Each structure stands twice: as C-alpha cells, then as structure tokens.
Amino acid sequence: MIVHRDPRWFPALFWTFLALAAAFAVWRTAVVDWTVWYGPVAWLIELFGVLTSVCFMLTLRRAASAEPRTVPEVVSTVDILIPTANEPPLVLEPTVIGAVRVRGVRNVLVLDDGDRPEVREMAARHGARYVARTTNEGAKAGNLNNGLRFTDAEFVVTLDADHIPLPEFIERTIGYFDDPRVGFVQSPQSFYNQESFTYRRGGWHEQGMFYGGIQPTKNYTNSAIYTGTSAILRRAALDSTDGFAPDTPTEDIHTSLRIHARGWRSVYLREPLAYGLEVENLREYYRTRRRWAAGSLRLLFRHPDSPLRVRGLTGWQRLNYFSAMITHLQGPMRVLYLLAPLAALITGVAPVTGPYSRYGFAFLAFTVVSVWIVVLFGRGHYHLLHSEAFAVADTVPMISALKAIAGNERKFGVTVKRTDRASSTGLKNIYRLYALANLAVLTLAVVRLAQGEHVAIAAWAGAFVALSTGYAFAFLISMERYERAPGAPWYASLTPEQLYAAVVARPLVTA
C-alpha cells in the first residue's frame, strides 16, 4: 500500500480534536439540567454527535492507495456472477455484453430470480450461462450462493444487473491476489447517468465522500467494505464464510465483515472499473437508503455478527464497521435535535444549567471545529452544502428503518432502474413536512427574539435550527428542479450494444 502524504500538522490537529471532544463531553455532562425532560435528551444527542465525530475521525486518520498491479495475462480461472430479479432486459443486456467481453473471464453466469424466458434467450445469445431458481430465499445473497454451486472458478466477480464492466476489469484487479491473504478487491461504484439528482455541478456525487474519502482510509486498517458490485472475490474466502451473508438486507457489508473476521485481507482500488445506473427519483433513493439503514442497524444490534461482539476482527476493523453502522442512527437524532430547542423555546427553560449563552457558544464552537476537521480529513470529497443537505435528506429513510432494531428486516427491495424522474407526492410531502417543521421552529425562535422573550435561548436555538432548515430546503429545491428538467437522458434511445460502447468510450467524472 502507498500511504497518502498528508500535511505534517495533520497528526497534531487530529490529537487536538480528540482532546477537545473529550473535554466537551465531560463539560457537557456536568451542565445537564435533569429537571426538564429535554435536558437529558439534548445531552444524549450531543454526546451521540461527539461519539460519531470521534469514530469518523479515527477512521479517516490515514489513507492508503493500492499499488498498481496490472497483469498482462490472466492465468487464474475467473467467472462473473450477475444476479438479477426484476430488472428489464434493456437494463441487464448491456451488463451481459460487457461481462462476456472482459478480458480473462472464463464464464459469465446470469443468475435470474425470476426464471424469465426473455432473459434466458438474451443470455444464450451473448454466450452467457443462464442459471434460474424458483424461489428467492435469501434474496440477492441467496441468488449469489445458488450461483456459486455452478462454478468452480478460483475467483468470482460480482456485478449488479445494471453495472457495465470495462474490458480490463480482471487485468486490473487479479494481481492483488498474489498475496494469498487477500480475500477481495473492491473498486468504486461509479455511474454513467450523471444527470441523476445525486450529482451536482462539477461532478460531485452523493457517495463521493464514501468512495473517494472513506474507502481509501480503510486500506490503512484492512477494513475496506465489499459493496456488492464491481468487486472480485477469492472463492476460498467465500467458502470460509459459507458464501454471501443471506440473513440481513445489506448482504454486502455483512459479507465483508465475515470475510475480515475469518482473517482475510481486503484491497480498495480507487479506479472505476464498471459503470451502473444511479437512482433516478426520490422514491428509489428513499428505498435504497432505507435498506442500507435497516440492514446496518439490524446487523449492529440484533445479529451475532455484530462488530460489537463478533470474534476475529481487529480493533481497527471493529471500529470501522461500528462507525459505518452507527451513523444510521443520525436520522432519529436529528428529530430529537429539533424537539429539544422547540421545548426550550416554548417553556423558556434551557436544557442546561448555568448561562445558556455560554453553552450555546461552546456547542457552536465545537460544531464548527468538528465540521472543519471533517472537511480537511475528507481530503476534498466533503462538501459543506451538498454533503450536509443529503445527510439531512437521509433523516426520513433512517427513521423508517428503526423497526429493523425491534423486528426482522430481511426483505430485500430491488432498486428499480430506468424510471421517470417524478416520485410519489406522498413521499415528497413527508420531506416537505420535515423541512416545514424545521422552518416552524426557526420561525418561533425569530418571534421570541422580536418579542424580547428568552433572548439567549431564542438566539442560540435559532442558530442551531437555521442550518438544518437551510439544508432541508436546499435538498428539496434541487429535487424539484431535477424533476422539472426537460428532456430524456442521453442513453434513453440507445440500444444495449450502443450503450455498452458509449460507456466504455465515454470519459466520466468519478470519485
């Protein structure tokens, strides 16, 4: 691995932040007002923020890149697995075309949960093997495990049904398996429909921080996460875990956790080797983020493989997985964060003892420092507006996913591809209601200031809520503009063969 060279003052800044976080947590605990119900609630929210910030910073501390290891000739046996459930042939066929043209591949297996004649015919036409099953037990992981029964290859590549691989995929990844301890090599999820609302001007992508800023840091601690597609895995590593993990909706992170717990190493290669379809409307964005949150929370709190108790992980791996999963509790914390200042504005009683202005200054200062640190250690991938706007937007699916902690959340919802831009009015109204709730609290703070009532509480509560209000409306406004944008996407009229050729030839901005 090539360790990234950060400025010399990064370590000093890192340890200074940890010291400030510890001091703030101790001081904040000392000033809790236990006489009002929202005093402990506000304290819990802020300590959760300190915890997630510290975990995040610990995982971002050092970044490393995999040294290039392109091989001129592939001598190992490699098969490609393409699981599909209900994706139309128009989405699936370009992926099959790309897979059979990957240099060094032995067989391409189209794994169909739908047992569809048209998919069988399409696979045969392109020289791929068609494998169907009559049940969808275990969802995507179950489909992949069924596919493993039909291959004895040393390595398998997994591709989502909409991810078109580049011809050099295997050549660029197989060399890392010279190390017999490497269990999988993951490349970033990249997308060819960059007119999706998850992109912003200049090529910024909603997942850019994860694939460009976070995954490279996981190379340093052998904690890179398998993300379900655009990856190549050693069959022996999969056999050691009894295949792909079928018992949580997020089979990808669950599978990589099991592989790491068995002592295998991982490599994150920051080079796009396949391009897929990003979600095209708010409904599919919500469904995808809800599934991520539900699967992560279930794995963290209810499964024996939880990083809190599973055996075999190193301390750094345990921390990395814990940090990735606990972040999905930020949604309910944001709602509580809204209720606490509202209660203080109504009652005129602060959630802390002592001067509220002192508390407000300390909290705001720590928040500003935390954000500044994340921007620096995000190494150019964290955006002050866009990153936070999408974080606020994730509040709705994260709250919906809470029942995964209390109940069984195994159902896997397949993201629908090639949809229109508009989403259901009901879902948009939920997002609008959340934005209006923030605006209502902000308005109450302004009214209190104008009336000269509870001035200190109103000033600081208004300052806190103003940010989340701005981020919520920024997301909604960009969504409305996206839905009303005229014209069809650039790939709408292309045949599968033309789309494959365009994706392979087209220069794309990636993480």
The domain at 65-312 falls in which architecture?
Alpha-Beta Complex (3.90)
What amino acid occupies position 355? P
> What pLDDT score does 511 carry?
47
Dist. CA 438–CA 415, nearest whole Å: 30
> What are 260's two structure tokens?
């790491």
For the chain, the straight-line distance linking the first and the last C-alpha, in angstroms and rounded, comes to: 19
In the Cβ-directed half-sphere of 324, how many Cα atoms lie within 13 Å? 31
**pLDDT by residue (tens digit) across 69-126?**
888 888 899 999 999 998 999 999 999 999 999 999 999 999 999 889 999 999 999 9
pLDDT above 50: residue 393? yes
Cβ atoms of residues 134 and 406 within 8 Å:
no
Which amino acids are annotated catalytic? 113, 252
Structural domain boundaries of the chain?
A: 65-312
Q: Check residues 421 and 159 and name the one with the higher pLDDT.
A: 159
The token pair at 348 is 């005129």
Q: φ and ψ at 207, to 5 degrees?
A: -100, 10
Q: How many CB atoms lie within 10 A of CB 344?
A: 26
Q: Can you give the pLDDT at residue 227?
A: 96
pLDDT at 510 > cutoff 80: no
**What is residue 32's predicted lDDT score, i.e. its pLDDT?**
95
Q: What residue type is assigned to position 33 of the chain?
A: D
Alpha-carbon distance of 1 to 66, in angstroms, equals 5
How many other C-beta atoms can be found within 10 angstroms of the C-beta atom of residue 154?
A: 16
- 312's tokens: 């075999």
Q: What is the DSSP letter of 81?
A: E
Least confident of 140-154, 163-177, 364-378: 364-378
Whether the CB-CB separation of 110 and 118 falls below 8 Å is answered with no
Q: Which residues contact 201 (CB under 8 A, 6 or more apart)?
A: none
Q: Supply the pLDDT for residue 407.
A: 67
Percentage, residues of the chain above pLDDT 90: 73
What distance in Å separates the CA atoms of residue 228 and residue 232, rounded to the nearest whole number? 10
pTM (predicted TM-score):
0.93
- At 355 the pLDDT is 82
Please check whether residue 333 is in contact with residue 53, taking contact to mean a CB–CB distance below 8 angstroms.
Answer: no
**Percent of the chain whose predicted confidence (pLDDT) is above 70:** 97
Q: Which residues, 6 or more positions from 381, have their beta carbon under 8 angstroms from its beta carbon?
A: 208, 209, 212, 213, 511
Given the structure tokens 């029942």, which residue do they identify? Answer: 403
Give yes or no for a contact between 172 and 94, defined as CB atoms under 8 angstroms apart: no
